[in-house]
Structure 1
Amino acid sequence: MSDNPALLLVERDDKKRMRELYYSPEKTLHIVEKKSHREYRSKHQDTKELLTKIFLPAGYPNTVTPDYLLYQILNAAQAFCNSLASLLASRAALEGIGVGDPSATSTGAMLISVLQDIFGRIATIIGAYYLGTRLVPEAKKYRFLADVLNDIAVVVDVFNPVFSAFMFPGARVIGLCTSAALRAVCGVLAGGAKAAITLHFATPRGGVGDVGDLNAKDSSKETVLALLGMLLGSVMIPHITSPWVTYPVLLLLISVHLVINYIAVRGLAIRSPNRHRATIAWLWYRSKDECAPSPQAVASRELIFERPENIRDPTTSLVLGKCHVGSAPLDVMRGPALSQEYLDIFHADKYIVCFNPSHETGHLPIIHICFKEGFTRADELKSWIHAVEICRSIALNQVPIQKGSKAVELEHIRSTFQVVKEKYDHFVDHMKKAGWNFDESHLASGSGPKAVLLNIAQTPSRNIPT
């Protein structure tokens, strides 16, 4: 017998299952599957594992964020309600293009379909132009707004026969084109927001996910839900014929659909800061003894339809001020902002804050952030934090501000800048430890800065052109 020791290899897969391989020259390879205390597999367990592989991403739950499963369950429920409501809308739309009408022609139905397609494509182009750059920073808002537009399109389609019966003759065509345009914009919003949410799910704090696999598994779930919705709808819809039954059922489906969507979107704890989340985080940090909040804590205070320029106190829900990011420097730099003393405050930074203490229609401070050439995402975040600190200090009456008091405005900018300078790095470090991802911050939503400041230099007065 040989004195060579046996070779032992141990493996563990992503499901925490372990196997051991024994090898020695005197024996053949021998694999032993290690059994846990749950060990004896049943058909139920095998089925559960198969469904997990089909509908959940590889490596689940280690390759997705903790909010993934709840969102997918709620998303499945809302998709099922939407598929039933869409069947009611499809039936009404078919009636709108002439199905069941002896006087309707196939050519007329074809022309209406072409007109719907034209309106849909135009709406897609317009929606992408105006909203494309806002979808990632405000993914939660536009994900929910997409479902609102879809439900409005469903209502328009269902009421389309009423339009043709009680309104002017062209109302039927206008209704069909309107619903087509709404669905097209819905597709733009849902597609962009879904991409951002998928990226969020695929970047868990303790691992790395696969965006392609997430999208593929989502498509599988949506396919199954669509099939179930069509099967159930095929049984239900023939019995929902009168308006007195159709409208209550439609109202119920849409209400449930929107409520589930709202809960699902509110439950998303996105780790990349946008303006609203950065505002909540900084105000939390300043009021909680410099303790940084987790993404889940911020998500519980985040508003879905908040305007990006609002700086709102999450505890009181009061708007403290408004801030416009990426303003054209030559349009907004007036008063104290044109003094050398003011500009020297920001000489080492890639941004300048222009501050108006009040507004002609109210008493909220209005802040403009101008960027210098070469600014980065870190500069966007720091400048926004500075704007929030300005509004916070005014709200707390730390420095009384009166319109036209240039010396007080300058001192206020200097004092708040010093606060941000001293605390910003500490804030970012604690936020990262709390689970935030600053590599994907999105502060310049909308079209982004249209102009940047290239140069600041002194010149003799005689060189000023007349």
Structure 2
Amino acid sequence: MAVRLRILEREQGGRGRVHNSEHGGEMSVGSASPNKRPLHIRFMEFTAEVFLPAGYPASVSPDYLRYQVFNALQAFCSSLAGLLSSRALLEGFGVGKADASATHALLLTVLQDFFSRITTICAAYTLGPSLSSEAKTFRLLADVFNDVAIVLDTLSPLFASKLRIPGLRIGALCLSGALRALCGIAAGGSKAALAVHFATPARGTATGDVGDLNAKDSSKETVLALGGMLVGSLIVPYLTSPWTTYPVLFALVALHLALNYLGIRGVVLRTLNRQRLTIAWELYRSSTSDSDIESKIKFTSPFEVSKLERILERPGVLRDLRGNVAGTCTVGSSLNDVLGRGSGSNSKSSSTMAIPLRLLEEMEAERYVLWFDCASLSSPSPRPNAPDEFELRLARVGPVHLHICLKEGHAPADTLRGWAHAVEVVLLLEQHRENFSQKSNSDFILRAGLAPDLILAAYRRVAPVFPDFLEGLRGVGWNTVEPTVLTGAPRALIVSIETAEPGTGLDTEYPEEKKEK
């Protein structure tokens, strides 16, 4: 008895195909659609295969296409502005002038390249650890640096011919070279982080083909650059005077930055950095402050947080629910920074800023220590029964500063917990500031403003609910395994915390150093 087989498959572009055969016979192939596909459909499919990652759209995040559209438009504007900059540079080097010197142009190029390379080294050292955690910020800043460099290059001939200020044109060229180097560092690091994000589908645990995605992005940028050069070659010959060149230049720069901002605003990152964790925690706490009903608990999704986060945000800032700066925090600090024992510190004042013992004992199980910067504390409390308590300088101008010192063996979840703890501290502190003028003693912890009480009150609020908070974030699509709260390596790690009877003293040498002696 003959058996008939019918196999339906779907190709990468979404087109279906049917395979029919009978047992023992050859298999015939037919299209799932009886109509022949038009030529423009086949051209679009081929273009998609050339310029889009393999497996699109299932192989990329949902926000990939929107970002690529804005990225294509901004690259086109940048290419047009770059032509005006290149023409101005050639004019500045003396192209078309009988007294121009090739040696002079070469020396200017070498000087500009020198500043560019030095800036590259300094920027990589300074900005490198933060490029991944603040990818959206540095992606926008990279274009700001590039646009300022384009403007400086375009205005450089004006500095030499009109203003006639000695050295101003050379300084502008050196500054533009440095800004282009900053653009290269910021764009390179942030693009790498964004590529990993785009190559990871929503709620996916495995990373896609980042290499193929980067290669296809390079192809698109090449085509756009060529298109910009062709269009620019038709427009630039008509821009012969400053009255026509500069308005077009500044219009292109403004459009370029606007398109960049819109593109970056639409990116929905799923990794928890400091700002996104602050927003998610504050919204979670506000949903549980009035009622403990489980149905009212709010775990904010990455899409909701992306609409609230600021693109240009200062690192380490802690904001309250109203968006006001309530404090700052540093992750991975050394105890020397916390206690004010750095170079130039007063040893007498430093010795009074010790972390209270009862705080260390209650948080002994945690893999971090949270404490205020010594500049945020006033003199020790004169209470004889509590000599280790410090009062916060509530009357001083500016927000308080917190430090998170990590212990040896810490995990990524410990940095998340430590940052949520710091956010809770500044939220309690804001409540204390609001109630500071009241005479009621209904809430002594907030009313008194003692630093250890404030740290421990926040800890008692965070510790019981934080595991459920992390689990809820995973449920709405957050990646809690690879957070970017800690940028770079911590300056120091706490190896152990020991106590001793008064007068006996503790060894101040590191155990390994003591063994060597």
TM-score range, shorter chain: over 0.9
* 1:326 counterpart residue number: 332
Residue 188 of structure 1 and its aligned partner are, at CA, apart by 0.7
> In 2, are the aligned partners of 1:294 and 1:435 still within 8 Å (CA)?
yes
Secondary structure of the 2:464 match is helix
For 1:222, the aligned partner's letter is: E
> In 1, are the aligned partners of 2:277 and 2:420 still within 8 Å (CA)?
yes
* 1:300 counterpart residue number: 307
* 2:405 counterpart residue number: 370
> In 2, are the aligned partners of 1:273 and 1:437 still within 8 Å (CA)?
yes
Partner of residue 459 from structure 1, selected from 473, 480, 500: 500
Gap change, CA 1:400 and 1:138, over 3 Å in 2: farther
Residue 184 of structure 1 and its aligned partner are, at CA, apart by 1.1
For 2:231, the aligned partner's letter is: L
> In 1, are the aligned partners of 2:445 and 2:453 still within 8 Å (CA)?
no
The CA distance in 1 between the partners of 2:151 and 2:478, in whole Å, is: 40
For 1:396, the aligned partner's letter is: Q
* 2:11 counterpart residue number: 13
Q: How does 1:226-237 map to 2 (within 5 A)?
A: 226-237=225-236
Partner of residue 74 from structure 1, selected from 64, 70, 79: 70
Secondary structure of the 1:222 match is helix
Residue 154 of structure 1 and its aligned partner are, at CA, apart by 0.7
* 1:411 counterpart residue number: 453
The CA distance in 2 between the partners of 1:277 and 1:436, in whole Å, is: 10
> In 2, are the aligned partners of 1:394 and 1:401 still within 8 Å (CA)?
no
* 2:86 counterpart residue number: 90
**Range with greater deviation from structure 2 (428-437 or 330-339):** 330-339
Seq. identity, %: 44
Q: Where do 5+ consecutive residues of structure 2 fail to align?
A: 288-295, 340-350, 377-391, 436-442, 509-517
The CA distance in 2 between the partners of 1:209 and 1:435, in whole Å, is: 17
> In 2, are the aligned partners of 1:394 and 1:400 still within 8 Å (CA)?
no
Secondary structure of the 1:306 match is coil
The CA distance in 2 between the partners of 1:52 and 1:42, in whole Å, is: 16
For 2:230, the aligned partner's letter is: L
Secondary structure of the 2:402 match is strand
Secondary structure of the 1:200 match is helix
* 1:194 counterpart residue number: 191
The CA distance in 1 between the partners of 2:317 and 2:444, in whole Å, is: 21
**Range with greater deviation from structure 2 (79-88 or 410-419):** 410-419
Residue 331 of structure 1 and its aligned partner are, at CA, apart by 3.7
Q: Could you report, residue by residue, the CA deviation over 1:163-222 in whole angstroms, capped at 9, with x for unpaired residues?
A: 112233332222222211111111110000000111110112245521111101111110
Partner of residue 425 from structure 1, selected from 459, 467, 473: 467
Output the aligned Cα RMSD.
2.3
The CA distance in 1 between the partners of 2:156 and 2:26, in whole Å, is: 75
TM-score w.r.t. length of structure 1 = 0.92
Residue 54 of structure 1 and its aligned partner are, at CA, apart by 1.3
Gap change, CA 1:24 and 1:465, over 3 Å in 2: closer
* 1:238 counterpart residue number: 237
> In 1, are the aligned partners of 2:84 and 2:154 still within 8 Å (CA)?
yes
Residue 24 of structure 1 and its aligned partner are, at CA, apart by 3.1
Residue 13 of structure 1 and its aligned partner are, at CA, apart by 3.0
- Number of matched pairs: 458
**Range with greater deviation from structure 2 (141-150 or 323-332):** 323-332
Q: How does 1:54-453 map to 2 (within 5 A)?
A: 54-165=50-161, 166-207=163-204, 208-288=207-287, 289-313=296-320, 315-333=321-339, 338-355=355-372, 356=376, 357-358=392-393, 361-362=396-397, 364-397=399-432, 408-445=450-487, 447-453=488-494
> In 1, are the aligned partners of 2:203 and 2:477 still within 8 Å (CA)?
no
TM-score w.r.t. length of structure 2 = 0.84
> In 1, are the aligned partners of 2:202 and 2:477 still within 8 Å (CA)?
yes
Residue 130 of structure 1 and its aligned partner are, at CA, apart by 0.7
Residue 262 of structure 1 and its aligned partner are, at CA, apart by 1.0
Gap change, CA 1:105 and 1:330, over 3 Å in 2: closer
Secondary structure of the 1:462 match is coil
